[in-house]
Amino acid sequence: MSHAHAGSHAASVETQPDVYTNPVWRYLVHAATIVDLELRKLRRDPSELIMRAVQPALWLLVFGQAFGRLRAVPTGGVPYLAFLTPGILAQSVTFISIFYGIAIIWERDMGILQKYLATPMRRSALVLGKQLGASTRAISQAVVILVLSWLVGVRLHVGWNVIAVLILVILGAAFFAGMSMVLAALLKTRERMMGIGQVITMPLFFSSNALYPISIMPAWLKVVATINPMTYLVDGLRGLLLGTGTHAVWADALILAFAGTLMLALASYLFPRRLAG
């Protein structure tokens, strides 16, 4: 079976072979390499992260402050600004991840994607690496927003639960980045991805529990909110940071992990077929 590899290994029988032989380890190295690549790009040009912090800051400072005065939203006994913070956190995780598909198409147009796909890396290792790359960006956003909210006077439960918050952020970003890559594989062009990005981000946001609880929604919107994964991200974050989630945090995490895995499988299937050429 491995007759073709015999030659390259023969020279180093006593020492370690030059290439990884354990497939699981190799898979992890590949996924980690893609994450590393994303981190290196980010470190060279962190301006994107700074610009991306502007919008959530406006939501908290302007919308949150003004809307909170109305006391129109039943927040379960917490100030509206505190109620809003997990919603804005989830929103920014979603938005940062959803534009990942555009980056992938850009890499395809540049030929970078094809070059990587011609290496022995498993397709799903590439997708997983990209998903976790989105997660690292999202984590840096989360930190910014948590600090910002503290500065404007929001007092959240912050302690060891921050680790759980970050895990939720990682799962949420991985899901939305995966979804975005599935869309990229289906749509194939940057222009269409830009369009769909505009079209779906706001509805995702407004049809979730980010701004108001599900309980005040009309029946049809309740249905949409229930199948909107952003709802589970917000709910989990509220549970951790305010103690007012409607589901158990582990259930929210499980749903996000399941949805993210589904996107991983779907993207790994679609990618090489639709974007490799």
In the complex with other proteins, the residue whose CB is nearer, 4 or 10, is 4
CA 226, 228, 232, 235 dihedral sign is negative
Q: Give the nearest distance from C-beta 229 to other proteins in angstroms.
A: 30
Q: State which of positions 89-148 bind other proteins (CB under 8 A).
A: 109-112, 114-121
Place of tokens 């249905």: 223
Q: Give the nearest distance from C-beta 114 to other proteins in angstroms.
A: 5
In the complex with other proteins, the residue whose CB is nearer, 10 or 227, is 10
In the complex with other proteins, the residue whose CB is nearer, 16 or 198, is 16
**Distances from the Cα of 72 to the Cα of 33, 60, 67, 212, angstroms:** 48, 17, 8, 10
Q: State which of positions 3-62 bind other proteins (CB under 8 A).
A: 4, 8, 16-20, 26, 29-30, 33, 36-37, 40-41, 44-45
Q: Give the nearest distance from C-beta 186 to other proteins in angstroms.
A: 17
Other C-beta atoms within 10 Å of 176: how many?
33
Decide if residue 226 touches other proteins (CB under 8 A).
no
- 3-state class of 230 per DSSP? helix
Which one, of 183, 5, 197, 18, lies nearest residue 94 by Cα?
A: 197
Radius of gyration of the chain (CA): 21
Q: Give the nearest distance from C-beta 6 to other proteins in angstroms.
A: 12
Residue 35's identity, in one-letter code, is: V
Q: Give the nearest distance from C-beta 97 to other proteins in angstroms.
A: 20
Query: CA 217, 223, 227: angle at the middle one, nearest 5?
Result: 120
Residues of this chain that interact with other proteins (CB under 8 A) are: 4, 8, 16-20, 26, 29-30, 33, 36-37, 40-41, 44-45, 109-112, 114-121, 272-273, 276-277
